[in-house]
């Protein structure tokens, strides 16, 4: 899709930012494909800046929407049974403690951003500290992802397919173990 707009970096940038916002609001979609498209269509340094802007905008907008629309969610027992100890701490904390928990959770690659944003929205954390912490935590993650995408794009098609199959295989194993672990509880 981004190849169509290759001569128009402003349009690519706006599409990338908009897609990052949509992904942040959805809360469960990975932004890897947006990173792939943005990095492949733009200069790497410019793409990283656009990706940071998109992630920051998405975090702020989704945080605001979650806070306004999902305050009642904390009344549900399932939400109150947060299994991750850092998410549980974030829900109960405020101030500097919550700020650093958000940074920590944003840097971790396997903690979905939507869960961190949702938990922060229900916590006592204000929007400005959340925005700063979220962006500060996402910068290293975006840079790692962008550089990984650049490396991935330099691989031959056969290697790209192999990497995709291996990632899919690992994901399927993860889902299998996750389901069997839940059944054993």
Residues 117, 70, single domain; the answer is: yes
Range of the domain at 164: 157-185
pLDDT value of residue 83 = 58
**Phi, psi values for residue 70, rounded to 5°:** -120, 20
Other residues' Cβ atoms within 10 Å of the Cβ of residue 106: 25
Instruction: Name the domain count of the chain.
Output: 2
What pLDDT, in 10s, does the model give residues 132-160? 999 999 899 889 888 888 888 888 888 88
**Class of residue 37 by CB neighbours under 10 A (exposed 0-12, middle 13-18, buried 19+):** buried
**What's the predicted TM-score (pTM) here?**
0.75
Are residues 82 and 169 part of one domain? no
**Within this chain, do residues 9 and 71 fall inside the same structural domain, yes or no?**
yes
Q: Are residues 94 and 171 in the same domain?
A: no
State the pLDDT at residue 119: 80
pLDDT tens-digit series, residues 82-112? 555 656 666 677 778 888 888 888 887 667 7
């Amino acid at each position: 899709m981004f190849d169509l707009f290759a001569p128009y970096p402003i349009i690519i940038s706006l599409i990338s930012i908009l897609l990052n916002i949509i992904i942040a609001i959805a809360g469960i979609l990975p932004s890897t494909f947006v990173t792939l498209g943005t990095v492949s269509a733009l200069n790497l340094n410019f793409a990283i800046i656009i990706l940071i802007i998109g992630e920051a905008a998405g975090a702020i907008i989704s945080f605001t929407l979650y806070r306004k629309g999902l305050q009642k969610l904390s009344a549900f027992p399932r939400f109150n049974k947060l299994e991750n100890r850092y998410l549980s701490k974030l829900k109960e904390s405020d101030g500097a403690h919550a700020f650093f928990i958000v940074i920590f959770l944003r840097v971790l690659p396997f903690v979905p951003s939507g869960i961190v944003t949702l938990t922060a929205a229900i916590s006592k954390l204000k929007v400005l500290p959340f925005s700063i912490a979220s962006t500060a935590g996402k910068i290293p993650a975006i840079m790692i992802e962008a550089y990984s995408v650049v490396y991935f794009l330099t691989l031959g098609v056969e290697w790209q397919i192999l990497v995709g199959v291996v990632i899919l295989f690992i994901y399927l194993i993860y889902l299998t173990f996750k389901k069997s672990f839940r059944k054993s509880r």
